[in-house]
Amino acid sequence: MPIAPRNPLWHNQGVFPTVFSDSATPMNTLSFLLAAVLSLTLFAEATAQTTAGAPGIGTVGKFEQWLEVVKEEARENGISESTLRHALKNIKPIARVIELDRKQPEFTLTLGQYLSRTIPPSRVKKAQLKFAENRELLEELQRKYQVQGRFIVALWGIESDFGNHTGGFSVINALVTLAHDGRRSTYFRKELMNALEILDQEHVTPEDMVGSWAGAMGQTQFMPSSFLKHAIDHDGDGRIDIWNSSSDALASGANYLHKAGWNPDLTWGREVSLPEEFDVALAGKDKPRYLSSWDQYGVRRADGSPLPKRVIKGAIIFPEKKGKGAFGRPFLVYDNFPVILKWNRSNFFAIAVGRLADQINDR
C-alpha cells in the first residue's frame, strides 16, 4: 500500500493544512503527500479552470484508446463487465487532479507550526469526545488488535477529522486520471485495478467511492491496496465500509497498525531535553539504547524530569534537523514510532499522532 512520492502534497484538499518540512514522504495515504496551506488550496481552486491543457492530460482520442486497454487488463484480472461499465461510465481525466499532483510545496513549516495546524485545541477536544463516545468499540478493538484506542482515534482525527472529511473526488476518476498521466502511472494503474476489485466485491458503489484527489479513501484515507490488505468488516453487515461505518473504519485502522507491528505495551515516545554537551552522533533512528543509558547521557523529559524507569529502548531523533548544527527539537521514540511511519512516512505526522494520542488521556 505504501507509496513514496517525491514531494509533500496536499492533504484532504487542504481542509486540514498539513505540511511536511522534513524530507519524509508519506506511505499510506497519498493525500498526506501534499504540502497543505489553505491559501495555496484556494489558489489551486482559483486556477483549476486554467489547466485544461495541463501536462499529462492527453487528447480525448488517446485517452479513450488508453481506457480500452485498461478495461482489457481489468477483464483479464477478473473484473466483471457490469462493474467496468458502471465504474468507467463517462470517465474523463480531471484537470484539477493533475494540477494538485504537480503542486510543489512553496515553503515548509517548523514542527511547532505543523502541530498547531494539525492538532489545534479544537481537534484535541473533539478527539477526547470521540474517544469517550466510542469507548466500548475501542476497548473491543484493543482486545482484538492489540492497539490502544487513543492511537486509533488520533489517526482517525488527523486523517479525516473523525470521518467528517473523507475527500470529494471520485476515486475511480482520480485514479484513472493519475494512471493515464505519465508521472507515476505504474503505481496508480495498480491502485486503479485495486479500486475496481473493491467495486467488484460490492463493498461500495462507484458513486459512493469518494476520496482524496490521489485516491485515498474513507475515514482512514486508505489507498485501495491498503483497503484490500487491511480493511475489516467489523460491524458484520457483509461489506467493508470505511466511508460510512466508523466501526469498520476504526477496526481497519487498528488492524493496519497491528499488522505493521504495534506493541500495545509501549507508547510512541516523547519530546526530551538534552544536556548542552550531548553528542549528536548518538542520535538516529537506528541507534536505540535503554532508557537507563540515555539517563546517563543526561537525557531528560522535556520538562526536565527523569525519563521513565522502564527497561525499554528508544532512539533520539531530530525531526527538524537542517544540518550544520541546526538540530531543532529532540525526541526519544520507541518501537511504535516506526510503526506509525509505515502508515505515513513523515516524522511530523507521526509526532502529531503521538501528541494527539497523549492528549486523549487514556490511562
Using CB under 5 A, which of the segments 111-119, 240-248, 312-320, 321-329 binds Ca ion? Answer: 240-248
Using CB under 5 A, which of the segments 26-34, 80-88, 106-114, 238-246 binds Ca ion? Answer: 238-246
Given the complex with Ca ion, which of 110 and 244 has the nearer CB atom? 244
Contact flag: residue 235 with Ca ion (CB under 5 A) = yes
Query: Which phi and psi angles does 34 have, rounded to 5°?
Result: -95, 135
Torsion sign across C-alpha atoms 308, 313, 319, 320: positive
Given the complex with Ca ion, which of 183 and 239 has the nearer CB atom? 239
Given the complex with Ca ion, which of 225 and 246 has the nearer CB atom? 246
3-class DSSP state for residue 117?
helix
Given the complex with Ca ion, which of 68 and 237 has the nearer CB atom? 237
Residue with the closest Cβ to Ca ion?
233
Contact flag: residue 227 with Ca ion (CB under 5 A) = no
How many C-beta neighbours within 10 Å does residue 62 have? 11
Residues 6+ apart with CB under 8 A from 165: 12, 15, 16
Say if residues 185 and 178 touch (Cβ distance below 8 Å): yes
Cα dist from 113 to 97, 108, 120, 349, 352, whole Å: 27, 9, 10, 12, 11
Nearest distance, CB of residue 234 and Ca ion, angstroms: 7
Nearest distance, CB of residue 317 and Ca ion, angstroms: 38
Binding-site size for Ca ion (CB under 5 A) equals 7
Using CB under 5 A, which of the segments 71-79, 233-241, 296-304, 340-348 binds Ca ion? Answer: 233-241
Beta bridge partners of 331: 271, 317
Residue window 241-280: x/- pattern of binding to Ca ion, with contact defined by CB under 5 A: x---x--x--------------------------------
Rounded to 10°, the helix 121-133/347-359 angle is 60
CA–CA distance, 219 with 167 (Å, rounded to integer): 9
Contact flag: residue 233 with Ca ion (CB under 5 A) = yes
Contact flag: residue 237 with Ca ion (CB under 5 A) = yes
Given the complex with Ca ion, which of 144 and 183 has the nearer CB atom? 144
Given the complex with Ca ion, which of 99 and 248 has the nearer CB atom? 248
Intra-chain end-to-end CA distance of the chain, in Å: 32
Q: Nearest CA to 220 among 186, 185, 195, 245?
A: 245
Query: What is the binding site for Ca ion (CB under 5 A)?
Result: 233, 235, 237, 239, 241, 245, 248
